[in-house]
Structure 1
Amino acid sequence: MTDIETRGILLPRLGFGTFQMTGDTCRAAVESALALGYRHIDTAAMYGNEAEVGAALAACGLPRDALHVTTKVWHDQLAPDAIRRSMDASLEKLGLDHVDLFLVHWPSPQMNLPAAMATLARLEEEGLTRAIGVANFTLPLLKRVVEEIGAPIACNQIEYHVFLDQAPIRTYLAGHGVPVTGYCPLARGAVAESAELRAIAGKHGATPAQVALRWLLDQGEVAVIPKAAGAARQKENLGALGLTLDRDDHAVIARLPKAQRFVSPPFAPVWDAA
Structure 2
Amino acid sequence: MDLPPVGLGTMGIEDAAVVRTAIDCGYRHLDTAQIYDNEAVVGAGIAAAAADRDDLTVATKLWTDALGATAVRPATETSLDRLGLDAVDLLYVHRPRGDYDPETTLPAVEAVREAGLTDHVGLSNFEPEQLAAAREHVDVAAHQVEFHPLYWRESLLADAREHGYPLVAYSPLAGGGVFEDPTIVDIADRHDTSPAAVSIAWVTSYDNVVTIPKASSQSHLSANLAAADLQLTDAERARIEAIEREEELFPE
TM range (shorter): over 0.9
From 186, 197, 204, the counterpart of 2:173: 186
From 175, 184, 188, the counterpart of 1:197: 184
Confirm whether residue 242 of structure 1 aligns to residue 234 of structure 2.
Answer: no
Deviates more, 1:105-114 or 1:193-202: 105-114
Asked if structure 2 preserves the Cα contact closer than 8 Å seen for 1:181 and 1:222, the reply is yes
Confirm whether residue 20 of structure 1 aligns to residue 9 of structure 2.
Answer: no
* Corresponding position of 1:74: 63
| C-alpha distance in structure 2 between counterparts of 1:165 and 1:66, whole Å | 30
| C-alpha distance in structure 1 between counterparts of 2:80 and 2:216, whole Å | 24
- Would the alpha carbon gap of residues 109 and 32 (structure 1) be closer, same or farther in structure 2, given more than 3 Å must change? closer
Shift of 1:29: 1.3
Shift of 1:110: 4.6
Confirm whether residue 49 of structure 1 aligns to residue 41 of structure 2.
Answer: no
Asked if structure 2 preserves the Cα contact closer than 8 Å seen for 1:165 and 1:259, the reply is no
Cα deviations by residue, 1:11-61 (Å, 9 ceiling, x for unpaired): 222100011222xx3x12111111110110000111111111101100102
* Corresponding position of 2:79: 90
* Corresponding position of 1:271: none
Amino acid at match of 2:50: G
* Corresponding position of 1:171: 158
SS in 2 for 1:76: helix
* Corresponding position of 2:88: 99
| C-alpha distance in structure 2 between counterparts of 1:109 and 1:124, whole Å | 22
TM-score of the pair, normalised by structure 1:
0.89
From 140, 149, 174, the counterpart of 2:129: 140
Cα deviations by residue, 1:206-254 (Å, 9 ceiling, x for unpaired): 1110100110111220110000111111111112122100012112112
| C-alpha distance in structure 2 between counterparts of 1:142 and 1:109, whole Å | 17
| C-alpha distance in structure 2 between counterparts of 1:28 and 1:191, whole Å | 27
Amino acid at match of 1:105: H
Aligned residues: 252
SS in 2 for 1:113: coil
| C-alpha distance in structure 2 between counterparts of 1:222 and 1:21, whole Å | 23
Asked if structure 1 preserves the Cα contact closer than 8 Å seen for 2:173 and 2:200, the reply is yes
Amino acid at match of 1:191: V
Shift of 1:170: 1.2
Shift of 1:165: 2.6
Which runs of at least 4 in structure 1 moved beyond 6 Å after TM superposition? none
Q: CA RMSD in A?
A: 1.2
| C-alpha distance in structure 1 between counterparts of 2:199 and 2:159, whole Å | 23
| C-alpha distance in structure 1 between counterparts of 2:31 and 2:162, whole Å | 25
Asked if structure 1 preserves the Cα contact closer than 8 Å seen for 2:140 and 2:165, the reply is yes
Q: Identity across aligned pairs (percent)? A: 35
Asked if structure 2 preserves the Cα contact closer than 8 Å seen for 1:12 and 1:68, the reply is no
Amino acid at match of 1:16: L
Cα deviations by residue, 1:147-200 (Å, 9 ceiling, x for unpaired): xx2410101101010111311111022111122101111100011111211111
SS in 1 for 2:30: strand
Asked if structure 1 preserves the Cα contact closer than 8 Å seen for 2:7 and 2:28, the reply is yes
* Corresponding position of 1:40: 29
Deviates more, 1:102-111 or 1:206-215: 102-111
SS in 2 for 1:93: helix
TM-score of the pair, normalised by structure 2:
0.96
* Corresponding position of 1:252: 239
Confirm whether residue 222 of structure 1 aligns to residue 209 of structure 2.
Answer: yes
* Corresponding position of 1:120: 109
Asked if structure 1 preserves the Cα contact closer than 8 Å seen for 2:24 and 2:51, the reply is no
